[in-house]
Amino acid sequence: MYLLNVLPLIFFVILNRSHPISSIAVGVGEAISLYNGTDKVAVLSSENFSSTVYQSKTAWAVEFYASWCGHCRTYANTYREVAATAWPWRMIVRIGAINCYGGANLDLCRQHGVRGFPTIRLIRPESVFDNSSKVIVIPATDAIYVTRELIRQLDNMHRRYKSWPDFTPANRVIFEELYARAPRTTKLLLLVFEKRKDTTGRQLMLDFSNYRDQMTIFRTTTDGRLWRKLHVNNTDIPSLFVILKNRTAQRIPVQQNKSLDADNRGLFNRAIRLYIHQTNSITNFNDQEFDAMDQIRKTLHKQRLTRQSAKNREYIEANIDRNTTRRKVNMIDLELALSHMFRQEIPQFKSIRGPAYDALIQWITILTKYFPGREPVMNYLERLLSKVKEQSDGFSGSKFQEIVDVKTSDAYLPTNHNRYQHCAGSQPQYRGYPCALWLLFHTLTVSQYQKELRQIDVREIPLAIKGYIKYFFTCRECRKNFMKETVNIAELDTTNKQEAILYLWKIHNHVNERLHTDITEDPKYPKVQFPSKFLCPTCKIINTNEFDISNTMDFLLHYYSESNIDSTLISKESHHSDNSSNRPEDLISKMEFIDETADRSVIIRYLPDIVQQYPLNAFLLFLILVIGISRYRHCKAKRRRYTL
């Protein structure tokens, strides 16, 4: 009996032992690292960032990203490719990444003035954190460009570091002096002829930087003395020579690729390795890591091609998880979207002033007017707006964080929602915040349409959304694309009340089209043209792929109307006030499935999720139940025997 009495306690302890912070984060589907031990990317956090990156012997390229940001997930493969390429350069530069989503990492990213994800920063060797010094940003584009830019930046700073290769073209050096310019220990001296902007030579210097004591590579361009001396043809560059100790030059044959920065590095690298193996010119030479690196890059490249060919796949309606599709817009998701933007996204910015401040006022004003929220949340938004207005000169992100967390019993924005409902992905990396943000945007346009009986300026909400995206949405790629999509916002027909709803619907469908079969797409929830035939059979004109605008409008008005928003869990929750605190233990204690006030149906509803998310816990619980029941039976049988 004793065991049975303590079972609920054991159940509670088991749930609590699952690392409260990560379990909450995974619940909202976001704070999982995009990189792991198999990548050549060092995983950084607020705990190891300073000790790793600052006062380091090497430079550091660091990607600041947020795991909720779909584009960051897509970009992770590109960054992995950069890291694989740069792995042999690790004595000079290391490649790392930090997830800015979540508590302490958020503060660190704010201190570093990160304004969007992903952002790649290059940090000099032996530097200390200095807020005022100029930062070096490498645009997060394709792997070839990032690598080239990284090299250009390393080149800019190389003179300060004696142990680094000398990237300066040896144009003024005369041929006979080459050995004198190289370290005395040099056993192999190579010369690369290339165009001035080509990075092949510098990549090779970095590739073999581990052997700098035995091997020296110089680069030279077509306007230097060495060019004339060796009579290299213009059509022959890039080309590679070995300079022998007897002061003669011998060409190393390399199959060439003429386009600038095409993968000549790979071809030249292989030719050099072959030469080293044939001549045994370098002691303890081990080139296995180059092959491993090539393999990683090939695999990543192949994955990209597979994804591109998948783009042409026909969309099959039967693939859709209908249960997921059927989920209504949920108030929990809308509140979570607000919570994320106020507690995570806006505080990310160091300074909120001028046009960003105006955009924030405009955005919160829209929320106070049209968010179909319950009373305490609407009170909260009103108070937030007046608090923000009080600070007319603007404020810092951390000041905003203070304002945001002010709450009273009749005005609060809950912190105790721990999982998205409509926007829950089939895996933690899918859906979440951006999904909830879209729902919020659509809901606002429909709410305005239904609330305002008088003539309204239909651009009010699209403009406020655009302001929010422009100044605060931290997904860099989404921001850029959304700005492009909304250039014609001024042309909206202000006399047509439906215009804002349809405008946003169309833009969202463009995004869906672009992202269909993208790595960010939840396979159980493909990004189809919305609404699907399954959701709205009459929204498409029969036998065509065209939408019937009138039927679609009716559908959207219903789908995003206040009366259709699922608030079941919210009303269960509001039985107890939100004395919300951010402490994980408070959040855990409020999880519906262990809440004393929660009814059995809620527990049963979440049981599959609990088992899926905490398989070990579920197994332990099962074991305890089995032991408990058998002990109970055993004791009962024993007692019966004694009474007999």
Contacts with ligand FAD, residue ranges (CB under 6 A)? 70-71, 74, 423, 431, 434-435, 437-439, 442, 469, 477-478, 481-482, 505, 508-509, 511-512, 515, 520, 522, 525, 527, 530
Distance CA 421, CA 334 (A): 10
Distance from the Cα of residue 316 to its chain's centroid: 28
Residue 414: strand, helix, or coil: coil
Query: Please, which residue, 198 or 333, has the CB nearer to ligand FAD?
Result: 333
Q: How far is the CB of 359 from ligand FAD (least distance, A)?
A: 14
Query: Please, which residue, 282 or 478, has the CB nearer to ligand FAD?
Result: 478
Residue 7: strand, helix, or coil: helix
Query: Please, which residue, 49 or 559, has the CB nearer to ligand FAD?
Result: 559
* CB-based contacts of 300, cutoff 8 Å, min separation 6: 77, 80, 81, 84
Both structure tokens of 44: 């950084």
Q: In the Cβ-directed half-sphere of 617, how many Cα atoms lie within 13 Å? A: 19
From residue 4, give the alpha-carbon distance in Å to each of 179, 599, 630, 632, 637.
Answer: 83, 20, 11, 8, 16
> Looking at the DSSP assignment, which residues form a beta bridge with residue 408?
411
Query: Please, which residue, 124 or 422, has the CB nearer to ligand FAD?
Result: 422
Distance CA 641, CA 413 (A): 59
Query: Please, which residue, 157 or 519, has the CB nearer to ligand FAD?
Result: 519
Distance CA 503, CA 275 (A): 62
On the 0-12 / 13-18 / 19+ scale of CB atoms within 10 A, 271 is middle
Q: How far is the CB of 119 from ligand FAD (least distance, A)?
A: 16
Both structure tokens of 34: 């995009």
Query: Please, which residue, 274 or 515, has the CB nearer to ligand FAD?
Result: 515
Query: Please, which residue, 459 or 527, has the CB nearer to ligand FAD?
Result: 527
Distance from the Cα of residue 401 to its chain's centroid: 22
Distance CA 34, CA 36 (A): 7
Query: Please, which residue, 18 or 324, has the CB nearer to ligand FAD?
Result: 324
Which of 330, 526, 532 has its CA nearest to residue 421?
Answer: 330
Both structure tokens of 163: 């142990």
Both structure tokens of 423: 């926007």
Give me Rg for the CA atoms of the chain: 30
Query: Please, which residue, 107 or 321, has the CB nearer to ligand FAD?
Result: 321
Strand segments (E) across 48-165: 59-65, 93-99, 119-123, 136-138
Residue that the structure tokens 């560059």 belong to: 237
Identify whether the C-beta of residue 461 lies closer than 8 Å to the C-beta of residue 448. yes
Query: Please, which residue, 153 or 520, has the CB nearer to ligand FAD?
Result: 520
